[in-house]
Amino acid sequence: MGFHRTDDGPLAVLTLDHGDLNLFDHGVFESFIDAVDALDADPPRALLLHASGRVVSAGVDVHEFDGLAPRDAAILWRRLIRAAQALEDLPCPTVFAAHGLCLTAAFEIALACDLLIAATSARFGLVETVVGLTPSMGGPQRLTERAGPARARQLVYTGELFDAQTLAEWGVVTQILPDDTFADDARAVALKLANGPTRAHAATKRLVRTAADHGVRAADALVPDVSAPLFDTEDLRGAVASFLKDGPGKASYSGL
């Protein structure tokens, strides 16, 4: 049990399934690393991450920290950060769907995804302060990027839970969907991205990442390198022909 992959046409679906609370233990951490390694080796056209069970995750099994030596903790965090970065760098849209309570490691994984979709009743927290720890899978720094340093400090220092609406106002949650149709609606969002112009989405992702890391002018300089090659793709040529013949919104894409 842990993370396992299925496919829905062009969409890869990574599901966390580890009991009703989806607690992260050694096996779940290893399954996350292995799943991301496999995605990195053969990227899909889009990725949806979600969880089965009553909650997304109630956090990390604290037994994992009992007696953990600093050297071993450092090794673990380095491996998990590399996996989060690999997830972040996938050349396709990534969507995290949170249907309920989403704590610690699961929330940090969500923050490494392009889009964080939440059910109306979902709640989020980085609560590591209750065991004297700071979130160590990239949460504070990715919260800083989305919500700013003051909000990141508030969320981590307090260890409090925050609802989806609050985090949407902060720029952390990108979309809120109704509870009763959440699973189907979130999958539909991800499938729409998977059926889109895959290489154009990858170009967009590079431009946004470059702008966030190095500023708008650096992204400007990258535009010719990432945009011009799109004119040699089947998707762009087909979409242009479709637009001219049938009008906008009628094109279909193969990802080529």
pLDDT tens for each residue of 178-213: 999 999 999 999 999 999 999 999 999 999 999 999
C-alpha to C-alpha distance for 75 and 24, rounded to whole angstroms: 17
Residue 256 lies in a domain: no
Q: Are residues 177 and 94 in the same domain?
A: yes
Q: b vs e for 39-60, b when ≥16 Cβ sit within 10 Å of the residue's Cβ?
A: beeebbbbbbbbbbbebbbbbb
Give me the residues paired with residue 98 across strands: 118
Q: Is 59 helix (H, G, I), strand (E, B) or coil?
A: coil
Q: Are residues 46 and 142 in the same domain?
A: yes
Q: Are residues 242 and 173 in the same domain?
A: no
C-alpha to C-alpha distance for 123 and 165, rounded to whole angstroms: 9
Q: Which domain holds residue 209?
A: 198-246
Residue 252 lies in a domain: no
Q: Are residues 124 and 242 in the same domain?
A: no
Residue 127 lies in a domain: yes
Q: Are residues 146 and 188 in the same domain?
A: yes
Write the CB contacts of 125 (distance below 8 Å, at least 6 apart in sequence). Answer: 102, 103, 104, 107, 155, 159, 160, 161, 162
How many distinct structural domains can be found in the chain? 2
Residue 177 lies in a domain: yes
Q: Are residues 129 and 209 in the same domain?
A: no
Q: Are residues 157 and 59 in the same domain?
A: yes
Q: What is the CATH number of the domain that holds 79?
A: 3.90.226.10
Q: Are residues 186 and 123 in the same domain?
A: yes
Residue 141 lies in a domain: yes
Q: Are residues 63 and 183 in the same domain?
A: yes
Q: Are residues 145 and 231 in the same domain?
A: no
pLDDT for residue 150: 98
Q: Are residues 122 and 225 in the same domain?
A: no
pLDDT tens for each residue of 243-252: 999 999 999 9
Angle of helix 104-111 relative to helix 139-147, nearest 10 degrees, comes to 50
Residue 147 lies in a domain: yes
Res. 110: pLDDT tops 90:
yes
Residue 239 lies in a domain: yes
Q: Are residues 159 and 229 in the same domain?
A: no
Residue 253 lies in a domain: no
C-alpha to C-alpha distance for 78 and 84, rounded to whole angstroms: 10
Give me the residues paired with residue 2 across strands: 17
Verdict on whether the full-model pTM lies above 0.85: yes
pLDDT for residue 1: 82
